Each structure stands twice: as C-alpha cells, then as structure tokens.
Structure 1
Amino acid sequence: MALANVALTDTFDYWRTVTNSLVVAINDKLVYCNTSNANTVSIPSFASRTSNLYVNIITSTSLNDTATSNVASAFTANTLQGLALVYAASANSNTQVSVRGANTWANTIGVASNNWANTIAFSTGISATAWANNIGASANSWANAVGAAANSYSSVTYAPKLSPTINNPTLTGTATINANIANQTLTDAATINWDVSLGSVATVTLAGNRIVAAPTNLKIGTYILHIIQDGVGSRTLTWNSIFKWPAGVAPVLTTTAGRRDLFSFVC
C-alpha cells in the first residue's frame, strides 16, 4: 500500500507519522519514499556539494498507531556520525549497539549477555585463572623451583676458571697429565738466578764463567737444568752450596763449543 509523505522540520528534531510510514533524510534535507516496497531514493543535487553525506532512516515502532497527529517515538536525530537511528522491535533490538552515544564500543562489549569486560578481567588476573598465582605461588612456585635447596643451581653448577688453583689435591690410581711441564730460559749473567716457580725445566747458554745461585720457590719435586756452551766453549760453573753432589764433588762441564750438559735435581 502507499505510505504517507511526511514533512520534517529543518532541524530534524522530531517526527510525526502514522503506522508504517517511512521517512528518509540526507544531510537534513528531505527525500520522500511513498511506497512500502520502494527500492530507490532520489538524491538531490545538494548532496554533491557536501563532503560528508549523512543518511538518517527512521521507521515507526508502533504497529497500532493510526493517529496522524500523534508523535510516534520522538527520536532526536544523531548529528555526530552516519546512520543515526535504526530501531526495530525489542526481539532483535539493535538499540544498545547503535544508539548509545556516538558509536560507543563500551556498550557493545559490555552487554550482560556477553560481558566481554568481565570475561577479559577473569581471564587475566582474577582468581579463576590468576596468572599471578600461577607464577610464584607455593603450588608451583617458579621462584622456589629455581635456586631452592632441592635443586639448587648454585650448589650443582661449577664455572671452571681458565687457570684454577687446586690446593693439596689427593690423587689415587693413575693420573694422566696431557700437558707440558712449564719451562723457562734463564738470563745469562755473572750470577745466574733460577726462580723455579716460573718453570721447573730451565735452559741457559753460558757466555763466560758463571755462578749458579740458590734456586728460589723450591717445592718437593724434580727439576731439570740444561747448560749449553756458547760458540767459544770451555765455560765453567760454580754451584751454590745448596746443590748436593755424589761424594761432594761437582761434575765437570763439557768444554766443547755448543755442547749441552743436563742436570737433574730432586728436592
């Protein structure tokens, strides 16, 4: 059936209509549709002169309203944004989704039937799924699991040094040492000094007749000294009294130039 044309005020404040009347307005300018199955609406020329095109559609919610002078659901047109009011019967009312404020997401999310606000809150810290309690609480305390006495990492983890110092070790069985004994070259001088802590194996080339001083930093063990004649040869040594020899007689060095004598000492 035909629908009555309805004239709106310039401010688009209220609407007076009869049952099932349809009113369409664009930017507060009236465009009329007077058939119930009309598919198109003519847009006047003013629409092309505006940057924002607002379309407001209002239908009557009263199926029994026949009074032409009656104010049927007097809504105030939304001037903030877009499709202001689309009102249907309460069975599928979009009122809470589309009419609250400008485009209030809070109302859309916070409706009681699917309360997202509460759902998110319970998922992120309320006691039902409290993450805070899952991390560090006594039930499965991560803090206690890392470093507690039951599995103390500080007790079981050893970070070795590149040059560890081991005092008074006790070895049993067979000890395998895959390393060279520290050795050093002594400085040739009128008196030759030997600090055995820098190497228990030492070498010196004689460029003249020398005196060997008492070694320093001696420990219980075996020490080896290489004596080499220079290119001239026939160099002699005088030993400190700390050195002990069989029958109290020091050995005689090989006098040939470039030759080597090897001495082993046990302390």
Structure 2
Amino acid sequence: MRAPVAALAVLVVLNGGLAAMISLARARQWDGGAFDPVEVSLAEILMTQIAAAVLGLIVINAEIGTGAIRSTLAAIPRRSRVLAAKVVITALTVLVTGTGAAALAFVVGHAVLVGQLVPTAGLGDPGVSRAVLGAGLYLTVAAVIGLAVGVLVRSASGGVAIVMTGLLIVPIFANALPEAAARWILKFWPSVAGLRVISTTPDANLLSPWAGFAVMAATALTLLAAAFLNFRRRDM
C-alpha cells in the first residue's frame, strides 16, 4: 500500500523541515533567558506526531474500510493475533523511522542554532541522546494510539479528527481554559506529558521526562486494551 509509505515519508520530511523553521524562529526570539536547544530542535514532534498517528489509523482502517479485513480474519480466525501483528509491525516501523527522523531533526536544528549565537548542545551532552531516542519512542506511541483509535472508531475521517483533537488541538488551546484546568492539561495531558521526554531542562512544575512519557504510554496501553476487546467482539 502506498499510503503508509507516504505517511512515513511525510514524517521524515516534516521533521527535518519544521526543525529548521522552528529553530530559526525560536533563536530569533531568544532574549538571553532560559533556552533548551534540544527541545527547540525537536519541538516539531508536536506536529509530526499526527503523521505517525495517521499511519497507525491507515494500518487498520484501510482493511476495515474496504472490507478486506474479512478475508484476513477468514485466513487467520484468531483476531487477537491479527491485531497484535499489526501493532508490532507498526510500532517497530515507526520506532526505526521516527528515531531516524528525530536524529535528522536534531542535526538540522543544531545546524541552524549554531549560526544564530544561541546556546547549543551536541549528541554527547547529558540528556541529548535520551531526548532523541525519546522522540522516536513518542512517535511510536502516537502511532499505536492512532491504530487503537482506528479500531475503536472504524472510520478514517473520524479517527483523524479524534487524534488531532487529542494529541494537538487540546494542548494548543489549553491556555484558553480556566487556570486550574490549563495547569492540569499542561502537566498531565498525555501528549503534553509525553513531550517532556524531549526536554533536557528540569522543571519543578512539570513531570520528569520519563514520568511524562509513562503517562502517554499508559494512555496508549489503555486504548489498545479497549481496541483488542472491541476487535474480538464486534462484527467486521
């Protein structure tokens, strides 16, 4: 199928292109205060996670939408095995591609920052390798969330709307909510908490990098468990 390949290509290209644009914009806005060059270089993950989630949606909805899933299940009646295979293949593919895309984004972003007279960091600096690997893990979890939503919704358009709202729109508009709600979202909302894994700067008001990622991973596992139950019981 061409769609998954296209989604992976978009994931890589957007990571590199947006890394350059965001790094340049943030460098020009720097006023001499705190500046995390690693987080700046990888900030495009907030946008490119949608490509990863859409890939997860495509993996399952392409078959459900055309009815081809019936042939798959006729050949392999054990539905849990079918879905588990899709999850494993999707996760491994995005982990490899996403980590490579994150490394590309860091290199591109770092190259831009070097020419802007702002703080920079190298791959050998503390926390940098973890952040790059964390970005790949984050994209992998986003893809798994997309796949789980695809199973539950069984609609490509509906699934895209849900993952865009949950992963992107809610965090963007969090500050428009009452203060208490905004603080909670900016600390515990899965996609926001998960993004802590790309930061190398401690913040007492936010979760630690791996604790934040654990929140997002737990959300993905919950959705995946619901997807397995749904996939086993619903008619296809």
User: RCO (CA 8 Å, sep 6+): is it higher in 1 or 2?
Assistant: 2
TM score, norm. by length of structure 1? 0.22
TM score, norm. by length of structure 2? 0.24
Indicate the structure with greater strand content: 1
Indicate the structure with greater helix content: 2
Larger Rg: 1
